[in-house]
Amino acid sequence: TPPFGFALFYLRGVAPPSVPTSAIYRGVVPFILMQLGMLLLLTFFPQLATWLPTQF
């Protein structure tokens, strides 16, 4: 995804040489999985996205 892609390249540029690129990518995987999980949840239950605005 674009935000993660740019952030990974920036982080690779400022990370010490001892930190491998694969470690940076592995660190991002949980966040991507959370985003995919929420996308699936909202795809199958769209009323979750509109519940809070209907409370006001």
Residue 28 and residue 41 in contact, taking contact as beta carbons nearer than 8 Å: no
Q: What is the DSSP string of the chain?
A: -HHHHHHHHHHHHHS-TTS-HHHHHHHHHHHHHHHHHHHHHHHH-THHHHHTGGG-
Give me the residue spans of the domains in the chain: 2-55
Q: Is the pLDDT of residue 4 over 80?
A: no
- Confidence band of 2 (pLDDT split at 50, 70, 90): low
pLDDT tens for each residue of 17-52: 999 999 988 998 998 899 999 999 999 999 988 988
Cα end-to-end span (Å), the chain:
33
Q: Is the pLDDT of residue 9 over 80?
A: yes
pTM of the entire structure? 0.68
| Tokens coding 20 | 């491998």
Q: What is the pLDDT of residue 1?
A: 57
